[in-house]
Structure 1
């Protein structure tokens, strides 16, 4: 197919010199120049020309010609038709939106009433004469603005998704690292345990071997002693049986002696005690297994955090113990200075130290025997201390609340949790890098709730109380 440039060049060669458009019904005059029939006819009808048959001249070369000498140029008409066909095909090949499908002309305008694109010929047509017709760029302006707004929203959404992807990929990498570390810890601990078990097995089997030998030895001694006693009593029995056969006169002179047999024991008391005491030899194994399990759970779990309550943040209605490990609610306000760090509306207190990374855990012993509530979790360092504060993640607070026999997770919308047993000891675990705040029953190990967050600044343990007699204490 001819290129767009070559087709355009050919089209320029078949333009009418009068209208500068493509030749329509081309005719040739005496000088050999070609014009549209309608254009040349109008040219010959110019007002004021006298004796037109003698005075008309070619619009190009000014050579005289006779109006009646028009000769249709059918060959040129075929060439023009072929060029237009190639031009339309070229326009369609470049994109149908650039050319009018009806006239093959380039589209410049847009009709707002009919919402169609127009070329010059379409615009001049009567169908759009009374309509609002604008240039394409002007008409496309509002659409471009709408597209730009959509692009802005989509780019923002894409950035948020990319941020989520980046955050989650980091979280996955942290988890993979933690799993690899746990795997190495398990291998190391079980290797140590395997060595210890092999040693303990050797010790216990050796002790059992010695007990086995001592039992067999005492069995031999017992058999020897019993055999001797049986022989002795058998001899005495034979003697007495022989005397018993004698006449009555001789029996009167026989003296009969009774002898008691010695009752030997097959197992000596000392050996029996050793056998009974053998389970005690497994106590080191039992103790070692307990240490192993505690150490393994410790290394696989979170690092116990040493938590102390910060009196500078404590609400005036909270009474803190001297060691800053316990708090009790009181309706009586304490004489506490109103510092920027202190909560003045919600009855809460923070820990003295916060966390900027790592995996930490602490246990809270909750006493709500007289009613009331207890709030536990973590907060961002910049959490608002003054005025009303909504306890939810959007405010930088991730907490659960124990109150009136039930537990609620204070998310964007509070969620009441269904638990098998009301916890009295709650374990709070923080995985800073992964972004987990997990609550569990420290006694039964039952999972209570887990918040998922993305931490970027320091976070502190938070504790809250409400209600007469409610209290809590901290432990590892």
Structure 2
């Protein structure tokens, strides 16, 4: 079987010099050159010499008469055989490349009707006045349009992919935030559960003691009542016996007997003492401090602008503070720190358990101090950060954490905390610091609180900041 290359080479030999396509109904003119009948007919119709005058061959320019060309049947047979070989040797070629009406190969495209035409279709009256071009020439503008559409679609697809990537990243951030908040909720409720269990134990112990006191007083009451019943039973038996005797025996010592009975006073014991009854009645009031402590435990921590040093910038919601070397125009009131760059929280505490979260951002190696202070801590002049001065705090600075005791102690931690949870137990006297992310304990102060205490915060360093939350 002939190869595709050889068939293509043969097909090039039987092309029409005018339309550059395979010869259709080939005719030969006087000089021996062959052309498609339709192509040569249109060539002869071009305005020029009179019909009887000679025309020039499109190839060699030899003269020929318009009516002198002859059909070349042998060449037509060769062209037909070459076309057949081309269909057989070209992969994927089929009847789709030929005109259904004429069975001829399709070479042209009518742009008016968007129809693919063979040479015979082109000569038909329906397409004579239409714009007809060779397939490749007609396809080129459409290729350019398709290319532009592809570029636009690819850009749109890239934009959608960028949006997908951006939104996926956003979703991951939100999922991480939810996971963090979930851990926070778990920690909060575990801490709250421990607090409730401890308070429950205290209240149940008090109720248990009330039970014991009631049972003890009931035993004492039973003994006392038993003794009284026994005494009265003895007197009743004595009088019953006296009453049943004859007159002479009844009158013997009758006066002393009656005196003893008349002067006998009945003691009226109480099963429950008034003091114990009052304790039982007052017990529901024991839950009131618990409710108050619960409210305090869950209360938000807000910072007090009246105590803020002028170099501290306080946010509008009073939850975030940033250090600035520029002094703020703040009135010098008695509550404000004038030398130590510190600030206190609103309210303060005189009882109960409380906890709050401090998120620290030390941008350029600054420092942040967190803890609690007594209400009488020095606000003016130098502030010594140690328990003897009413300050129980830790300091985060330069990647280290120090407990500010009588002598500052650098703590050995697995990692410097960025979120510190501070817990205050006023009655027990504990101030506890925990890494809120890793739950690693940091330090615990033990104190004996006698005055109101406030959450305390200190900050130093350009760009350094902290925020508080419950």
Q: TM-score range by the shorter chain?
A: 0.3 to 0.5
Tell me the TM-score normalized by structure 1. Answer: 0.43
TM-score (norm 2): 0.44
